[in-house]
Structure 1
Amino acid sequence: MKKFASWIGAGIGWAAGGPIGAALGYLIGSALKGATSDYSEFQKNNTYTSRTTQAGDFEISLLFLSAVVIKADGKILQKELDYVRNYFVQMYGKDRANNAFKLFKGIINDTSLSTQEVCTQIRNHMTPESRAQLIHFLFAIAKSDGHVADSEVQAIQTIANYLYINQASFNSIKAMFYDNSESAYQILEVSKTDDNDTIKKAYRRLVKEHHPDKLAHLGEEHLKGAQEKFQKIQEAYETIKKERGI
């Protein structure tokens, strides 16, 4: 656990305050079990209140919200835990992922966390594009066992509401994880009855809104997820074009 708190404190900005910071302090204090020098270092960093989202802020937010979704169906599946861990290994490397997962184990066993309070803190500091990326990641976790349970969809819907993600955007992201004839239209936030011009305009708007460059401030490690979402939008448009002969 040596320098565990240092890893946390060095990587976050606004997440060090509010309910997320309070929970982090408790979890780190419990994990360190008396290693006061490292805990004091976290408390020192806990005074930092930058409004610019850093990679660490996004990382911590993922951990908190992932725990909410994984617990939504009343069971904690190893496949879902493995997905979170593998995702962090791919993004940050093994050492950083190991530290993140130590914290994640504490978060997932904490029954006192308020989802609404955590989401309010995230909403007040993250851009709409970053918040949408969180929702995309949460659906990927839910789908990691091959099936998205209704309880998981409801949990993500609640999180999306707290994050002020509008329903059309939520349905668009959700549709990226289902394979049916309606998915392409839902991803583009249009209906089958819309004309070609409406669909083209919707596509251009979504490409602009969800371009990976909008998440460049989170660091290169987070761009993969953004690129996957961007590709889904492009694929949906190509599917509709082929279907309609545009």
Structure 2
Amino acid sequence: MIGKILGVFFGMLFGGPLGALFGLFIGHQFDKAKRINQGGFSRRGFGAGDQNARQEEFLNAAYSVMGHVAKAKGQVTREEIQLATIMMDRMNLNAEQKRSAQEAFRDGKSADFPLEKVLSRVSVSSNGRHDLLQFFLELQISAAFADGSIHPEEREVLHRIAQGLGFSAQQLEQRLRMQEAAFRFQQGGFSGGHQHGGGQHSSGGWQQANSASALSAAYDVLGVSEDADAKAIKRAHRKLMNEHHPDKLMAKGLPPEMMNVAKEKSQEIQNAYDLIKKVKGFK
């Protein structure tokens, strides 16, 4: 913004109205370049401001990297744009926050977007907290899955993101399997605790939920094998719920706007666990 103001001022001063228009253009390019070089963050940068500033920057970083993932395969799809919009609605962003998020998303699509620099600053802001960094990574995986599949170029970018956040290739691949399973679980209608479509209740819903496909997806959501015993399943469920607990994430610095997303993720994990319990017959 400061670039535009100065551009118009000096343009008007030395070139009149035409100079002001030219100055506005130059100022816009200056502001854009400055924002990209800073990874879409505010001038204060991570760790230099208060908690609210860091949370806002975490949010903008998430959207800029999301834009970078969406652009990875060359063309941003309608589904990916819809996902970004849906995420904004789920986060109840106000008009100013939406504009900032949209701008960050566009910045991420730039050919010279400094991905590694952005990820480094995300890590610094998060104080290396595993849960927050994992949440950030899972947001990007969700963006890649917006159209139901992972393009090879998207997978490559996700590996760069995982590495930049301190996750191994194996950890990323596990998260990809879990997210793909979550997508199947949602498509089956079990992510909200009931079957989508309204007409059927408990008996009909559980009949569909007992299908091999739904059960297989539930195991993958928890990251356990289908022959896992009750103890291993409970341990996996407890670990995932602890990592995705909204209140704990908030206490560690998750932006409050992301609370609903965290709640939905934890509910998804709980629904998968409930289905497995139902089928396995343990409490």
- Alignment TM-score, normalising by the size of structure 2: 0.64
1:75 positional shift: 1.1
143-152 vs 71-80, which moves further: 143-152
Give the alignment of 1:31-42 within 5 angstroms.
31=32
CA RMSD of aligned residues (A): 3.3
Q: For the structure 1 residues 169 and 146, does the alpha-carbon distance in structure 2 shift closer, same or farther, using more than 3 Å as the test? A: closer
Q: For the structure 1 residues 218 and 237, does the alpha-carbon distance in structure 2 shift closer, same or farther, using more than 3 Å as the test? A: same
- Which residue is equivalent to 1:194? 228
Q: For the structure 1 residues 27 and 137, does the alpha-carbon distance in structure 2 shift closer, same or farther, using more than 3 Å as the test? A: farther
Structure 2's unaligned 5+ residue stretches are 6-26, 35-41, 186-212
| Residue 238, structure 1, aligned to residue 274, structure 2 | yes
Larger of the two Rg values belongs to structure: 2
Instruction: State how many pairs are aligned.
Output: 216
- Which residue is equivalent to 2:142? 140
1:2 positional shift: 8.0
1:49 counterpart SS class: coil
Structure 1's unaligned 5+ residue stretches are 6-25, 34-41
Query: Do the aligned residues in 1 keep the contact of 2:3 with 2:31 (CA within 8 Å)?
Result: no
Partners in 2 of 1:4 and 1:102 — Cα distance? Answer: 16
Residue type matched to 1:124 in 2? Answer: V
Give the alignment of 1:133-172 within 5 angstroms.
133-165=135-167, 167=171, 168-169=174-175, 171-172=177-178
1:205 positional shift: 1.9
Query: Do the aligned residues in 2 keep the contact of 1:215 with 1:222 (CA within 8 Å)?
Result: no
1:46 positional shift: 4.9
- Structure with the bigger RCO (C-alpha within 8 Å, sep 6+) is 1
- Which residue is equivalent to 1:95? 96
Deviations along 1:185-209, one digit per CA (max 9) or x if unpaired, are 2222221222111111221122122
- Which residue is equivalent to 2:120? 120
Residue type matched to 2:240 in 1? Answer: L
Partners in 2 of 1:200 and 1:148 — Cα distance? Answer: 30
Query: Do the aligned residues in 1 keep the contact of 2:66 with 2:108 (CA within 8 Å)?
Result: no
46-55 vs 143-152, which moves further: 46-55
Q: For the structure 1 residues 187 and 165, does the alpha-carbon distance in structure 2 shift closer, same or farther, using more than 3 Å as the test? A: farther
Residue type matched to 2:108 in 1? Answer: I
Give the alignment of 1:1-246 within 5 angstroms.
29-31=30-32, 43=43, 45-46=44-45, 49=48, 54-91=54-91, 92-108=93-109, 110-126=110-126, 127-165=129-167, 167=171, 168-169=174-175, 171-179=177-185, 180=213, 181-216=215-250, 217-246=253-282
Partners in 2 of 1:235 and 1:75 — Cα distance? Answer: 34
1:3 positional shift: 11
- Alignment TM-score, normalising by the size of structure 1: 0.72
